Structure 1
């Protein structure tokens, strides 16, 4: 059995790394993430999930007579060199289980209190001599609890770490297995997430008739309110808003866990300066994430949505089509313009890097407006006719080259940053067969 080589082809004075060893290292890294996620998930299940589930499902009900109350002290070394003391309330109860009388100390459910006064404040909930409900363990009748329920917020926060580790690890393993032993050409030819998100990259159903012409099916599945089709939008604003919101939620969830720990330390009379120092930059980043998310949300709400409808699709060179531009929002729009653009895109290898360059080769203004006063109760609409240039290239997509047609809307609100919204369109080649037939059927003069 031959082991894979550490180095592959030699390029000048350097050698490229072995693809198999690289894939093996990547698989080992993501496998370690999966193992860490499994370990954390197992610890969570054994330390939180299983005990709480047994208390709420397996423990049997009984009536308990309160005989006494007290506090349980627990001292731990955390961090090394310093000691912290925690307190929890405990209750001495007498109860009947399995036909026998038991007398046992019961601990209240929930996290330990870091302050003695806080723990003592819960003791009046169980007056001495009163009868309270309880639940005992059938496997060990001397174990009894006086409270049941689930700490859902603890579960939610504790599942973030193993869930993230398992998600990243499994995604990486699937990606490595998909790329193992395959050439770059085979990987590039396969359909991936980019192909699913960008329908124009997928080959059309009639690829044999018009090879290289992108599909148009996903661009004509939304009917318009005035014209035949409503064009989809390719805008980064939606993904930016989603990404900022997700980041703000996850980051501030971690910040809340750290803040609760710092608060419990302060309540117990102990100050963890390292934790407080860590909270300051975490709080700054969390507040920045919330501010950016709220700003992007206000921007999306204030600027409003932009829609373009068209009378036919796909388009052809030399054709004339009705186009409807609709812009909603409130306030003053200093500038609003619609243009027809043709972008050429090339993907190439530079050394070991893959680069993509794009250039707008045609940019034809269709219509421009100035100082528009937008009314939040009704949107601005303008209908116009657009002609596709007769002597230009049709839409074209291959592995390394692409020619993309699009409508671009550019606007400048009065109190908000300028925006650019792109609406892709598909232009098919000219119907040369129809033109030839029309030319042959045209009447011609005779010569005597």
Structure 2
């Protein structure tokens, strides 16, 4: 194996799985289009009101729909055709983008539709994300899960860097209406791609989403220390060390207002660079170590950024922080998709939506509050130190998560057996194999 093949991302899922390839391309199109609205919407609210509070209120109207629809969407993804859920929510997002376009074209644009659309987008995104995650877990073979996680993270980070940059140029040069038109067009293309996905109906008996189903998913997560550890580590990392709210003040403290945009991009850049050199991930078996080690590296880098008096040094540590966050994220995603049964994958994905959405929002509140008490730099480095301490305590409290091994973990072995049986059944249905012999799953782990 050449050096480049060991370092560059493993493209096997992209080359061999048509549905994964369609989802990947669809994600790129949606990301670039969505960032047009992400940049244009707060700018339009600012132009209409001149109020920072009015812009910040978007977060308030988005939070409840995200939480409620994320949990409901998780239950829906386990009882409905996941392709259909993705297709309908993507179409709904396109309709909301068209509403923004129509409002922007009015002689006197209205304010209230902007908040309604922001809440609607948050709700539809919450409905869609569990179905999307659960569909990827179904279509990707067990041994290709780490490579698929790396490719999806690479796609996300490319969008996070290119999307806002392109959107800023479009909004500045052509206005918000043009940005909304491009967003609408992007969703139209995405719907066409989603229609080409293979159907993904629920494999169990047909049921309606229910609170009982959501509770079953929560009970499963609670009974699995490995899963609990991944959620807890992610929450701790975001709660204590997410730095975004501090960037405007850091730029002023360092006398470098020009560096504000670079601060926002630096973390995504670090994640992107790690993703571009993620070939080694396919050979890792101890993914719990990735979760813990990556989160600890994130916290250490954030603390070092807070101690940095030079803006370039601060940016360097933010890039390192992004790389650490990427490592932890790859570990989490791999564990989730290698261990969670298909019938519960949607509901657990709903819990994951809460994990990675509420953590950063609470972290913004923590950072701003501590900065008001102690100063911006102290808020940054103390959050990094607290993150490292919290991750260390969680690792000590949940040793099974740290010891997770893809080859020996009973839940991973059980899911691997399920995937092999699903593959053989599919090949048999296509006339490629004789009737598959029964496969016995490993015994349930009492722990």
> Normalising TM by the smaller chain, what interval?
under 0.3
Q: State the structure with more CA Rg.
A: 1
Task: Using structure 2 for the length normalisation, give the TM-score.
Answer: 0.21
